[in-house]
A and B are shown apart, each in its own frame.
Chain A
Amino acid sequence: MRVPLSWLKEYVDITLPVDELEERLTLAGLEVANVEYIGVEPPASVRFKKQIKPGDVVTGNGRIAWDKEKIFVGQVVNVEKHPDADRLTLVTVDYGAEETLTVVTGAPNLKPGDSGQKVAFATAGAMLIDAYADAFKVRKLKPGKIRGILSQGMVCSERELGLSDEHEGIILLPDDAPVGAPLADYLGDVVFDIDITPNMIRIASIIGVAREVAAITGADLHITMPAWQTSPPPADDYADVEIIDDDLCHRYTASIIRDVSVQPSPFWMQHRLKLIGQRPISNLVDVTNYVMFEWGQPLHAFDYDKLLARAKAIGKDKVKIIVRRANDGEKFTTLDGVERTLDADVLMICDEAGPIAIGGVMGGLETEVSDETRNVLLESAAFEFINVRQTAKKLKLPSEAAYRFSRGVPPRLNPIGNVRGAQLMADLGGGDIAQGMIDDYPRPQPVIEVPVTARDVQRWLGIDLSQDEIIDILQRLEFETRVEDDVIWGAAPWYRLDVSITADVLEEIARIYGYDAIPETLLADELPPQRRNWAWELEERLRDILVAAGLQETINYSMTSIENYRKTFPDNPEDAPGPEMFVTLANPLSQERSVMRRCLGVSALENLQRNLRYTDRMAVFEIGLGYRPELGDGVLPKEIRLLAIALTGPREPGDWLQGDDSPIDFFDAKGVLEALFERLGASDDVEYRAESAHIFGPKAAGVYLKGQKIGNVGEVHPKVREAFDLGDRPVALAGLQIAPLIPYIQTKKKLRAISNFPAVKEDIALVVDEAIPAGKVAALIRQTAGANLKDIRLFDVYRGDPIPPGKKSLAFSLTFQSPVKTLTDKDASKLRRKIVGRLSREIGAELREA
Chain B
Amino acid sequence: MSQHQELIQLQAQAENELADARDEKQLEAWRIKWLGRKGLVPAAVKQIGSLPKEERAAYGQAVNRLKQAVQAAFEARRQQLREDAMAAELYAEGFDPTLPGRRPQIGRLHPSSATMREIAHIFAHMGFEVYTARDVETDEYNFQLLNFPKGHPAREMQDTFHTTVPDVLLRTHTSPGQIRVMRERYPEPIRVILPGKCYRYEQVTARSEMMFHQVEGLVVGKNITFADLKGTLQAFVDQLFGEGRQLRFRASHFPFTEPSAEVDVDCILCGGKGCRVCKYTGWLEILGCGMVHPNVLRNGGYDPEEWSGYAFGMGPERIAMLLHGVDDIRYFFSNDVRFLEQF
Contact = CB atoms under 8 A, between A and B. Distances in A.
A635 B105 contact: no
Contacts of A26: 250
A710 interface: no
Nearest to A26: B250
B259 to A, nearest CB: 4
- A contact residues, range: 35 or more
A461 B225 contact: yes
A553 B108 contact: yes
A522 B259 CA distance: 19
Interface in B253-290: 253, 255, 258-262, 273-274, 280, 282
Nearest to A197: B253
B92 interface: no
B170 to A, nearest CB: 7
Given A406-B153, A555-B335, A636-B138, A584 B294 contact: no
Interface centre among B105, B190, B259 (most CB of A within 10 A): B259
Interface in A497-548: 501-504, 506-507, 510-511, 515-516, 518-533, 535-536, 540, 543, 546-548
A555 B151 contact: no
Interface stretch (B22-30, B59-67, B159-167): B159-167
B130 to A, nearest CB: 5
A543 B113 contact: yes
Interface centre among B211, B250, B332, B336 (most CB of A within 10 A): B250
B152 A198 contact: yes
Interface string A372-399: 0000000000000111011000000000
A587 interface: yes
Contacts of B226: 460-462, 510, 515, 518
A510 B226 CA distance: 9
Given A48-B280, A501-B294, A525 B100 contact: no
A611 B161 contact: no
B136 A533 contact: no
Interface stretch (B4-12, B34-42, B46-54, B230-238): B230-238
B291 interface: yes
B130 A511 contact: no
A244 interface: no
Contact of A636 (B134, B248, B293, B337): B134
A583 interface: yes
A385 B304 CA distance: 28
Given A460-B225, A527-B191, A29 B110 contact: no
Interface in A1-42: 26-29, 31
Contacts of A619: 105, 107
Contacts of B336: 610-611, 614
A639 B235 contact: no
Contacts of A558: 135, 170, 197, 199, 211
B83 interface: no
A635 B168 contact: yes
B109 interface: yes
Interface string B277-318: 000101000000001011000000000100010000000000
Interface stretch (B13-21, B69-77, B215-223, B321-329): B215-223
A109 interface: no
By DSSP majority rule, is chain B's interface helix, strand, loop, or mixed? mixed
B137 A636 contact: yes
B1 interface: no
B107 A551 contact: yes
A546 B165 CA distance: 37
Interface in A228-273: none
Given A47-B274, A462-B226, A528-B127, A522 B232 contact: yes
B225 A521 contact: yes
Interface stretch (A313-321, A419-427, A651-659): A651-659
A327 interface: no
Contacts of A518: 226-227, 230, 249
Contacts of B231: 519-523
B126 to A, nearest CB: 7
Contacts of A655: 100
A552 interface: yes
A225 interface: no
Contact of B253 (A200, A515, A587): A200
B332 A555 contact: yes
Contact of A461 (B197, B227, B235, B250): B227
A27 B225 contact: no
A659 B102 contact: yes
Given A47-B273, A530-B129, A29 B252 contact: yes
A275 to B, nearest CB: 23
B201 interface: yes
B149 to A, nearest CB: 8
A450 B143 CA distance: 25
A24 to B, nearest CB: 11
B337 A390 contact: no
B294 to A, nearest CB: 5
A133 interface: no
Given A529-B188, A550-B105, A551-B107, A511 B259 contact: yes
A619 B308 CA distance: 48
Interface in A176-204: 197-200
A530 B204 CA distance: 39
Contacts of A618: 337
Contacts of A607: 335
Contacts of B338: 614-615
B249 A515 contact: yes
Given A528-B127, A533-B131, A553-B113, A546 B107 contact: yes
B104 interface: yes
A456 to B, nearest CB: 10
Nearest to A651: B105
A557 B333 contact: yes
Interface string A585-605: 111110001001000000000
A506 to B, nearest CB: 6
B175 interface: no
Contacts of A522: 228, 231-232, 235
A153 B205 CA distance: 48
Contact of B164 (A387, A506, A584): A584
A618 to B, nearest CB: 7
Contact of A536 (B130, B156, B252): B130
Contacts of B106: 550
A610 B191 CA distance: 41
B214 interface: no
A73 interface: no
Contacts of A198: 152-154, 156-157, 253, 255
A516 to B, nearest CB: 7
A52 interface: no
B135 A625 contact: yes
A304 B167 CA distance: 45
A659 B227 CA distance: 60
A28 B251 contact: yes
Contacts of B222: 525-526
B341 interface: yes
B328 to A, nearest CB: 15
Interface of A: 26-29, 31, 46-48, 197-200, 385-387, 389-390, 406-407, 458-463, 501-504, 506-507, 510-511, 515-516, 518-533, 535-536, 540, 543, 546-559, 583-589, 593, 596, 607, 610-611, 614-615, 618-620, 624-625, 627, 635-637, 639, 652, 655-657, 659
Q: When A and B form their complex, which 3 residue pairs have the shortest distance between CB atoms, in order from nearest?
A: A462-B227, A462-B225, A29-B251
Given A518-B226, A519-B231, A523-B231, 15 more contacts: A47-B280, A197-B252, A460-B291, A503-B294, A503-B304, A510-B251, A511-B259, A515-B250, A518-B249, A525-B189, A528-B129, A555-B113, A619-B105, A636-B134, A636-B136
16 contacts: A26-B250, A31-B252, A461-B227, A462-B226, A462-B228, A463-B227, A519-B231, A521-B231, A522-B231, A522-B232, A526-B221, A528-B221, A555-B113, A558-B170, A558-B199, A636-B134
